Amino acid sequence: MSKITGYEFIELFESHVPTWLAEDGDPVGLHVGDLSRPIHKIMVTLDVRPEVVLEAIGKSVDFIFSHHPPIYRPIKNLDLSDRQTKMYADLIKHDITVYAAHTNLDNAANGMNDWLAEALGLADIEIMDVTKRIPVKKLAVCVPNSHCNAVRLAMTDAGAGSITDEYTHCSYEVQGVGRFTPLEGAKPAIGHINEPEEVQEKKIEMLVEDKYLPDVLEALYESHPYEEPVFEIYALENFQREYGLGRVGNLAQPMPLPDFIRHVKETFQVEGLRFIANDRNQMISRVAICGGDAGKYYRKAMNKQADVYITGDVYYHTAHDMQADGMTVIDPGHHIEQICKPKLHAIFNEWKKEQNWDIDILVSEINTDPFIFDSEI
């Protein structure tokens, strides 16, 4: 098994959930520590609170992976009599690195909002509010039949061939004949100097995001047998990868609002919640959800013809606006995002297995929800 540094771990994570997916001003990334240090034990948490840090110290954790950034606003002083500030000092004292993936994880495919939507059993899930569009190009390369599979696999392994997040290693091939005459100074893989040559070739076409193009071209050159591979790159006007806030989907069967509220409570294991409804017997079929504090985006849910919008931390005056607009809203709290802990734990353990990492991966056992419902008293 291999030792890894924080840089190696985060490099893999950001290849799936890049920081540019985050909303403007969101302080994602490294918060405390040094990514160049080796890591031995990672703990996944929703929040970095003093109790979580004490848990990490007690379990000899040296890397905390958090959804919520611990330093959301600038620190004004280093007064260690303040528990929050002392928490930062404890992290530094015990060489614990802290990394946060916030709205980039929310917006990512197979990220926070997809997990929330899937937990509710929604189908035909789509993005509620597209905020980022990533250009995609088409790469076409001619390859002799004998090397077609090797070149195709090299390019897809380097990042080419994804049409959506549900379909990867996609390509199209057409059979043809390649003709060429190598001249003096050439080093042909097939044929002889000054003799015309014909080769049975296939033209392979794939989609490639701009960010993967350098790696894909490198893989093409390394796997292609020709001294000068023939390839073309096209800009596409009709296809882009889209990312954004929230998700919208459909229930398998419509249900009355009271039944749906119970479904939300059971799904996210909350003892109580708030809701806004002009019609308490409304039938719910189409659902929008956005984790965290996303009340201000409720009109995006309306634009998607959602019957109900689920989000946390709805403000009093925003609730009045929702009510006036006739939007049914359920607020189960911010803490439903704890769904990320088992999800990230499973993903990181899969990477550990694939990469043969010598690390332990834990889930924080601390409940960081600050609210207590009176039914619990």
- According to the model, what pLDDT value does residue 115 have? 98
What is the C-alpha separation between 377 and 369, in angstroms, rounded? Answer: 15
From the CB of residue 96, how many other CB atoms can be counted at a distance below 10 Å?
A: 22
What the block records as the tokens of 199 is 């080769």
Q: Is 317 annotated as a binding residue?
A: no
Of the listed ranges 45-49, 195-199, 296-300, the least confidently predicted one is 195-199
Q: Is 106 annotated as a binding residue?
A: yes
Length of the chain equals 377
Q: Across the strands, what pairs with 362?
A: 43
pLDDT in tens, 102-119: 999 999 999 999 999 999
Q: Across the strands, what pairs with 357?
A: 2
Residue 183 three-state SS: coil
Q: Taking the complete model, does pTM exceed 0.75, yes or no?
A: yes
- According to the model, what pLDDT value does residue 377 have? 52
- Count CA atoms closer than 13 A to 169's CA, side-chain side: 7
Topology given in CATH for the domain delimited by 133-242:
Alpha-Beta Plaits (3.30.70)
Residue 241 three-state SS: strand
pLDDT in tens, 223-275: 999 988 989 999 887 778 889 999 999 999 999 999 999 999 999 999 999 99
Q: Class for domain 4-102+338-367, per CATH? A: alpha beta
Kindly tell me the number of DSSP H helices and DSSP E strands found in the chain: 11, 15
Of 84-88, 94-98, 161-165, which has the strongest mean pLDDT? 94-98
Let me know if domain 107-130+244-335 sits in CATH 3.40.50.280: no
What is the C-alpha separation between 314 and 333, in angstroms, rounded? Answer: 9
The chain-wide mean pLDDT, for the chain, equals: 94
Domain positions in the chain are 4-102+338-367, 107-130+244-335, 133-242
- According to the model, what pLDDT value does residue 292 have? 95
Q: Is 67 annotated as a binding residue?
A: yes
